[in-house]
Amino acid sequence: MIIPKSGKLNPEQLAEVERIAGEFDCSILEIVGRNRCIYAILGDEGRELMFNRLRGLDYLARVDLIDSPYKSMDRKSALAEHQMKVGKTSVGAGGPFFIGGHCTVDPEEPNLYLETASALKEIGVHALRGGVWKPRTNPYSYQGISKALEIVLEAKALTGLPVDVEVMDLEQLEIAVEAGVDVLQIGTRNALNYSLLKAVGKMTAGSSTAVLLKRGRHMAPPNEFIAAAEYVVAAGNPNVMLCPRGTMPALDGYRNQPDESITPLLKDKTWAPVVVDPSHSVGRDEYVTACSMAAVAYGADGLCIEAHINPSKGIGDDPKQAVTPAAFAEIMAACRDIWPRRYQPDPLV
Ligand code: PEP
Ligand code: MN
């Protein structure tokens, strides 16, 4: 990991660094952070001679060996200074970050989504979610349609809020990026789709687009989740949020196995904001408040909650797990109350 003295290496300096790394079969990846660029050394970076040569360059502030399977995501990485923003809000700075909106945008009922969006804006939600293309277990269920993206964009224009949309393949990724979607959601089913993760990182490198990476339903050790995020960051986009959303159900009664308690483990290992999705975790609106409060107590930086102006009129998951804007406002107040007492890792010495 290379940190230049100035915010960015100039082309001659970058060429020199690349030449030295190349002599040792390594390559350099420029990662554009909000405040500065850092340069990851890709390849076997445990070569002392290469390190000594790089350390001798007077325009470099630091050359660190990060001995971790996820060098960019590691809390010891220079990216730990990276403060990511979604729209105008710095995620996890000063209070929980809230994303809310429909599981699935009904293309036949655009007004329902627009009403939900306005009501969520009113209560102070920071970003809107809206399912356009849906990963449905049953191939005969509604699969989503590109037309729904227009409704999400209308809500963005109406409220001025950034929008979060799940993409499942390259075609959807291109459409979403082109349309200016602010947060690309990678769902639980694609959390281990490394080609998609690389494509997301590459296509949004150097931009302010954020990525909400859900935890895979079958993921066990935290490292597997962190390594998936590393794919996006190593491909050039450090604006990644980790989203626990429940794993394979082990308790009868919850939709998935609630996993907000993984948050402190993630916070201890990485610098990335953790934004918990309580809706898919517990799967019932009446449990969403408790799960949200627990997530914040465990140290989450934010929450992504399914919400609907009239859940019974929703499609997808909304009738069973979406909360109303009024309930959402109460969740926000309860979480803000807990925020000062949340788990926070000790600073690194
Ligand atoms: C969703 O957010 O509506 C969704 C399908 O999420 P997940 O990938 O967590 O199932
Ligand atoms: Mn859903």
Q: How far, CA to CA in Å, does 105 sit from each of 114, 130, 134, 286?
A: 10, 6, 10, 22
> Best mutation site among 196, 280, 304 for ligand 1, i.e. most ligand atoms within 8 A of its Cβ?
280
Does the beta carbon of 280 sit less than 6 angstroms from any atom of ligand 1? Answer: yes
Give 143 Cα–ligand 2 centroid separation in angstroms: 12
> What is the reported pLDDT for 309?
98
The continuous run of DSSP H or E covering 176 comes out as: helix 170-179
> What is the reported pLDDT for 307?
98
In the structure encoding, which two tokens stand for residue 137, read together? 């277990």
Protein residue with its CA nearest to atom 3 in ligand 1: 103
- Judged on CB neighbours under 10 Å (0-12, 13-18, 19+), 9 is buried
> What is the reported pLDDT for 40?
85
CB 67 within 8 A of CB 77: no
Closest atom of ligand 1 relative to the 186 alpha carbon: 8
- 324 strand-pairing partners: none
> Best mutation site among 99, 103, 219 for ligand 1, i.e. most ligand atoms within 8 A of its Cβ?
103
> What is the reported pLDDT for 71?
86
Does the beta carbon of 187 sit less than 6 angstroms from any atom of ligand 1? Answer: yes
| Residue of 131, 154, 152 lying closest to 306 (CA atoms) | 131
> CA 133, 138, 142 angle in degrees (round to 5)?
40
Ligand 2 ion: Cβ-proximal residues, 5 Å cutoff: 103, 317
> What is the reported pLDDT for 47?
78
> Best mutation site among 185, 255, 306 for ligand 1, i.e. most ligand atoms within 8 A of its Cβ?
185
Protein residue with its CA nearest to atom 8 in ligand 1: 187
> What is the reported pLDDT for 226?
98
Task: Give the separation between CA 119 and CA 328, rounded to whole angstroms.
Answer: 10
Protein residue with its CA nearest to atom 1 in ligand 1: 103
CA atoms 165, 85, 190, 268: torsion sign: negative
Protein residue with its CA nearest to atom 2 in ligand 1: 103
Ordered per-residue pLDDT tens for the chain, 349 residues: 898 999 899 999 999 999 999 999 888 888 887 677 889 888 776 678 898 999 999 999 989 877 788 889 999 888 888 889 999 999 999 999 999 999 999 999 999 999 999 999 999 999 999 999 999 999 999 999 999 999 999 999 999 999 999 999 999 999 999 999 999 999 999 999 999 999 999 999 999 999 999 999 999 899 999 999 999 999 999 999 999 999 999 899 999 999 999 999 999 999 999 999 999 999 999 999 999 999 999 999 999 999 999 999 999 999 999 999 999 999 999 999 999 999 999 988 7
Beta strands in the chain (DSSP E): 2-4, 27-32, 37-42, 60-63, 85-86, 89-90, 97-102, 127-130, 163-166, 183-186, 210-214, 240-243, 275-276, 302-306
> What is the reported pLDDT for 34?
67
Does the beta carbon of 131 sit less than 6 angstroms from any atom of ligand 1? Answer: yes
SS3 content of the chain, % helix, strand, coil (to 5): 40, 20, 40
What pTM was computed for the model?
0.91
- 188 strand-pairing partners: none
Does the beta carbon of 143 sit less than 6 angstroms from any atom of ligand 1? Answer: no
